[in-house]
Structure 1
Amino acid sequence: MYDYSCAQWGDREAVVYGDERLTYTQLRRRVATLATGLSSIGVRKGDRVSFLLGVTPDWVTLFYAALRIGAVAVPLNLSWTGREIVQGLALTESTVLVATDDFRTNNYLGMLTEQIPVLASQAKNALKLEELPNLRTVISLSKSNAKYPFAHDFREVEAAGVDYVPAEFEKMSAEVRPEDFSIILLTSGTTSFPKPVLHNHQTLLVGVAGYADGIEVVPDDKMLIVAPNYHVAGYLTMLMPHLRGGAIHLLEYYLPHTALEVIESERITMMFGFDVHFLMMARHPKFRMYDISSLSRTMIGSAPGSFDEIKAMGVTHQGNIYGSSEYVASQGYFPYRDRKDEYRMRLSHGRPMLGTDFVVKDPTTGKTLAPDEPGELCFKGPALFKGYYNMPEETAAAFDDEGYFHSGDYGWVDAEGYIYYRGRYKETIKSGGENVSAQEVELFLELDTPWILKAMVVALPDPKWGEAVTALVELRAGMNVTGDEIRDFCRDKLAGYKIPKQVVFITNDDWVTTPTGKYDRGAMTDFARQKLEAVNK
């Protein structure tokens, strides 16, 4: 893909990071240099190359270089502890690790040696670790040029490839096939450690191409990447512009005021984010001092309750996503061409991508349901993953006899084919023998009541009901209401068992998000429990 883009748009900007600007051709030379340097220290086809790097040009270069060699990219979560990093390396049987010693105060090399002290005394060409028997190469990327005896230096590896032979670089690509594995994405685990989702070059590119069509990328586009590079969106937002000759603009990590500055100064046209990313910009005290009118198309992981506030920012296309790592997050998308349908742009998650076979099934019987009947969202198609790495039982359990992947997600598809995702089945609250969809109640509170800006509905243990429907609510500015008034409003509009038994009032500062920008349901459940316990003492 990238060779084609270089041939078509070689002199156009491909990567922008602060004052650093690289054309497609310049980036290709960097990739050739690094790929040759990696090969010189023994990195080869089939290696699993893990990395802990910020969203910088070095990340982009490493990703392309690893895939050029035929290695498998394994992005690790930058928020992990040392113990979790070791666990992730073991789970993916990583053979190579590239890590920085300076990301938002984190020194990942130091964290690794704290977990495996013997590593510090080993030589870089003779690693032998009982905890990580597959790991044979560590590469350090140090802003301060610190040296680690057990690690190759990233800049020295680059320097070793400066005299690359173009014919040898071309040969690398010729030996990599569409069916070869390209990336292992570790899912956002909430109840257990993430599962390693394995994609090949073809499934990854199909997912990217679907978004390029849906968002209508052209060579003049500029994509601001705010997604972390251990999230599937990091790869969609990197590869999609490069498929069509556009540029990617990088932030090492997300800060709302920095994003606003870049959108204005670079005239950014496209951006991915969860509603949290957009709302953080909208609520920034200096938001109105920035011009973001160039931002014409978005990819958003959002809830309908955030729609109006994001619209008020001047965002005319809210491209809501229904996706997961298992399908390169490309199961469904609200395309730019549908932007005049504001009703569905607010409430739906778009339509299935081209070639995707999308159905809703009864989770108990497995029966395929009719339009507008809620059930489990299931799908198959050309972007579907190749399994969980080294987890045959978990892989088999995720599919039915017809080859559909069972997502565990609750929702429906309407008669026109639009998808309505309404939460995880495991987020269903079992209250008094009835099943309550948390997101159904959340949407009612946000869209139908006049007071509530943001709501999250969680389950708390209850001796009478088993689980009590509990609502955490942030009120709109200037609003004042009691929990009893909210419950009274719900009567005759929601079934009795769906009405929140308890209401917890919170402020914008109380919300807890995950490192990827999603609202953290587990943390907010703990918050509600603690606040209610304090009140009831």
Structure 2
Amino acid sequence: MTENIEMDFAVIDPQPAHPAWPAMTLDEARAILCAHGAFFEMETVAVRGVPTRTWANQCPNLGALARRARDQFAERELVVFESEHITYDGFFRAAAAVARHLREAGVGKGDRIAIAMRNLPEWIPIFFGITALGAIAVPLNAWWTGGELVYGLANSGSKILICDEERWRVIAPHLGELPDLCEIWVARANGAELHSPARALESLIGQPTAYGALPDGDFPAVAVEPDDDATIFYTSGTTGSPKGALGTHRNILTISLTASYNAHRAALRRGEGTPPTDARTHLLVIPLFHATGCHATLMNTVMAGNRLVLMRKWDPLEAMRLIERERIFSTGGVPTIAWQLIEHPERHRFDLSSLAAVSYGGAPSAPELVQRIGGDLNAFASNGWGMTETSGTVTLHSAEDYAQRPDSCGPPVAVADLRIMSPEGDRELPTGEVGELWAAGPQIVKGYWRNPAATAATFVNGWVRTGDLARIDAEGFCYIVDRAKDMIIRGGENIYSTEVENILYGHPGVIDAALVGIPHRILGEVPGAIVHLADGAAATEADLQEWVRARIAAFKVPVSILFVPELLPRNANGKILKGDLKALFEPR
């Protein structure tokens, strides 16, 4: 592996369908791109004892990626946020300063450092500073309530929390529950009262606009190997508490090359040469505390020397202003974003001609969306499939392939493998049959943090059992036909039913409850609840919504609650028949 990688990184420009599409098969394109001596050359290494194909030319660790970006793109802008502009040189200086201050605070390899903040420029050097030191970054969901943040901090055993002022206000009342938390660094405190163990982040590394004036130092000398632990991202499952997916440097850096591989593969299938390579600007509207934002977007950006524009929060009108002002080339994350841009009544007021690509995943999308993006936005659409346990991207789908197969999530990238297994997991099913989707590759995480039982049930000899039902066609394109039972994905945010149901059961008037996904054209689906009250109990839909809202993040609150006079229908094993309950919402 090498730090100084010379490579054309690109995203495909929109093109009309090639008359001879495809010019070559997936296997032929892969053979060219991954040939010996080519940039996407692969090598087989042992990852936790399993022979695994990896990119031969990816950086060995996240510190090496940051150095490479500084060396090659120092004067380019990496991130823009409102009036703040940070170059790659400024980013590296700040990341190195974070690492030095962490070392002074006694942080070493394997220590967990949590990040809880909205998308701010500080997030990026903080993440690289933590991981370059060999410590483990623990990005926490910034929408979580105080109790949820306490769970993430306690479960991970984080010794330092780096947060913004909003998260400081949420966590401050709970400090007594976190004896292992030694320090809190608060960004943009804006006059908020900070008390021990909190102090202002700016006192350590200054304001983002002044990062370029920080000392031109390097990261502390620490030997960090590709398979060393790097991240814990919490994933919502269908049962129990959130699980921390323990990822390595190899996992996340594998994703740093997947978008470029997809771009080159699509260009070859179109019959073209190397795609355009000028620097692109991406409007980042999904959280960096998700694998899609951190791994699939940030890592590809830093590897390619591209530019990110951040938003304080998603707003389609503001997004269109930014697309016009910053000449945004690409955006996306979940289908919601594309629909809101397409259908906004003021879209005609803005010059969106620079927008060439809209990508998404993480939630169901209507097959018509790819055509609407091409017709209404004059851009090409791309989607893909992955999960926190796969560090994000496993399949990618774009250009003519997507237009011709709008119900597919695409074929796997070259280093990944997919198989369709029987429900028992004991045999692989023939091409075209529906079964459980399993995935393998260097991006599969090590397992679940401090949860050996869940790890053993989910990870099998290098493969992850996804719980999704899927089929794979003869050409290798994957089709997700259903997701893991009881999982609801609202605009890209995972909601596990058991958590919400348990809160409903905690209400004194509720004796039976179930949460199901209600189809939603923009968000993919939203949570709806069916409730049976105890005799003599009284509660309204608004009462129960407020009950839930007071206890968990707002995006998990049922948008609709139906009351039924009988206990909910169950099968012979006592499990609620949720499939039967979804039909109750159709009249609404």
TM-score (norm 1): 0.73
**Could you tell me which residue of structure 1 aligns to residue 186 of structure 2?**
140
Q: Aligned match of 1:359 in 410, 416, 419?
A: 419
C-alpha contact 1:207 1:327 (8 A) present in aligned 2: no
For residues 397 and 584 of structure 2, the distance between their equivalents in structure 1, rounded to whole angstroms, comes to: 42
C-alpha contact 1:100 1:108 (8 A) present in aligned 2: yes
For residues 157 and 73 of structure 1, the distance between their equivalents in structure 2, rounded to whole angstroms, comes to: 18
For residues 353 and 74 of structure 1, the distance between their equivalents in structure 2, rounded to whole angstroms, comes to: 27
CA distance 1:7–1:142, change in 2 (3 Å): closer
For residues 474 and 264 of structure 1, the distance between their equivalents in structure 2, rounded to whole angstroms, comes to: 27
For residues 420 and 584 of structure 2, the distance between their equivalents in structure 1, rounded to whole angstroms, comes to: 40
**Could you tell me which residue of structure 1 aligns to residue 27 of structure 2?**
none
**Could you tell me which residue of structure 1 aligns to residue 253 of structure 2?**
205
- Would you say how many aligned residue pairs link Structure 1 and Structure 2? 434
For residues 422 and 329 of structure 1, the distance between their equivalents in structure 2, rounded to whole angstroms, comes to: 19
Out of 406-415 and 151-160, give the one that drifted further. Answer: 151-160
Aligned ranges 1:376-525 → 2 under 5 Å = 376-400=436-460, 402-427=461-486, 523=558
CA distance 1:330–1:267, change in 2 (3 Å): same
Aligned ranges 1:316-395 → 2 under 5 Å = 316-335=379-398, 338-339=399-400, 342-344=403-405, 346-364=406-424, 366-395=426-455
Secondary structure of 1:80's partner?
Answer: coil
**Could you tell me which residue of structure 2 aligns to residue 486 of structure 1?**
none
Superposition deviation, residue 234 in structure 1: 1.3
Q: Does 1:181 align with 2:181?
A: no
Q: Aligned match of 2:152 in 66, 82, 88?
A: 88
Letter in 2 for 1:148: L
CA distance 1:92–1:294, change in 2 (3 Å): same
Superposition deviation, residue 310 in structure 1: 3.4
C-alpha contact 1:317 1:339 (8 A) present in aligned 2: no
C-alpha contact 1:140 1:152 (8 A) present in aligned 2: yes
For residues 563 and 395 of structure 2, the distance between their equivalents in structure 1, rounded to whole angstroms, comes to: 33
Q: Aligned match of 1:228 in 274, 287, 292?
A: 287
Letter in 2 for 1:325: T
TM-score (norm 2): 0.67
C-alpha contact 2:434 2:469 (8 A) present in aligned 1: yes
Letter in 1 for 2:452: P
For residues 46 and 163 of structure 1, the distance between their equivalents in structure 2, rounded to whole angstroms, comes to: 30
For residues 314 and 358 of structure 2, the distance between their equivalents in structure 1, rounded to whole angstroms, comes to: 16
Aligned CA RMSD, in angstroms, stands at 3.4
For residues 265 and 330 of structure 1, the distance between their equivalents in structure 2, rounded to whole angstroms, comes to: 30
Superposition deviation, residue 38 in structure 1: 3.1
Q: Does 1:152 align with 2:199?
A: yes
Superposition deviation, residue 152 in structure 1: 2.2
CA distance 1:361–1:60, change in 2 (3 Å): same
C-alpha contact 2:79 2:307 (8 A) present in aligned 1: yes
Per-residue CA deviation, residues 196-218 of structure 1 (Å, 9 max, x unaligned), is 00111111000221123224684
C-alpha contact 2:402 2:408 (8 A) present in aligned 1: no
Q: Aligned match of 1:313 in 356, 376, 380?
A: 376
For residues 585 and 286 of structure 2, the distance between their equivalents in structure 1, rounded to whole angstroms, comes to: 36
C-alpha contact 1:282 1:313 (8 A) present in aligned 2: yes
Q: Does 1:240 align with 2:300?
A: yes
**Could you tell me which residue of structure 1 aligns to residue 328 of structure 2?**
268
**Could you tell me which residue of structure 1 aligns to residue 170 of structure 2?**
111
Secondary structure of 2:558's partner?
Answer: helix
**Structure 1, unpaired ranges of 5+:** 102-106, 119-130, 429-437, 440-466, 476-513
**Could you tell me which residue of structure 1 aligns to residue 79 of structure 2?**
15
C-alpha contact 1:225 1:249 (8 A) present in aligned 2: yes
